């Protein structure tokens, strides 16, 4: 058989990347925990493969009409578990106050920190 026609079974396989996990009982830093899936001026989508969930950040500059702006200068963070039996959760975050519902201890803080570490400005 000519070398340019190699059977598929003879091709080397490339292993799929494994989700990043920290040592037992330790969380990875935010920048290592998330994978950037989409980056635009309107949104930043982060995947947490280990937790099987997405975090979508809509900064105040976002022009998407479907984003409900309760507070004009707030960041809207949508948490979407990859499970059909769990509903998406929305967090409205202000720079000075943190999450309107959960304060500074909000679960969205890790996604926001990862965005900042990557160079995305979530509050502009």
Per-residue pLDDT tens over the stretch 76-103: 999 999 999 999 999 999 988 899 999 9
C-alpha separations of 99 from 18, 23, 50, 60 in Å = 31, 29, 24, 14
Between residues 71 and 40, the one the model is more confident about: 40
Report the chain's terminal Cα–Cα distance, integer Å: 59
pLDDT confidence of residue 76 = 94
Rounded to whole angstroms, how far apart are CA atoms 78 and 45?
Answer: 9
Contacts of residue 69, Cβ cutoff 8 Å, sequence gap at least 6: 76
The secondary structure element, H or E, covering residue 54 is: strand 53-58
Per-residue pLDDT tens over the stretch 6-65: 444 554 555 555 555 544 545 666 778 899 999 999 999 999 999 999 999 999 998 877
Rounded to whole angstroms, how far apart are CA atoms 75 and 59?
Answer: 5
């Amino acid at each position: 058989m000519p070398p340019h026609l190699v059977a598929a079974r003879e091709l080397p396989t490339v292993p799929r990347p494994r989700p990043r996990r920290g040592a037992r009982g330790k969380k990875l830093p935010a920048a290592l925990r998330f994978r950037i899936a989409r980056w635009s001026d309107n949104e930043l989508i982060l995947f947490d493969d280990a937790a099987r969930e997405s975090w979508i950040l809509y900064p105040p500059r976002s022009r998407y009409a479907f984003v409900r702006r309760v507070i004009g200068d707030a960041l809207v963070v949508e948490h979407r578990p990859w499970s059909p039996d769990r509903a998406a959760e929305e967090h409205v975050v202000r720079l000075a106050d943190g999450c309107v519902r959960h304060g500074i201890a909000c679960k969205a803080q890790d996604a926001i920190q990862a965005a900042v570490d990557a160079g995305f400005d979530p509050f502009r």
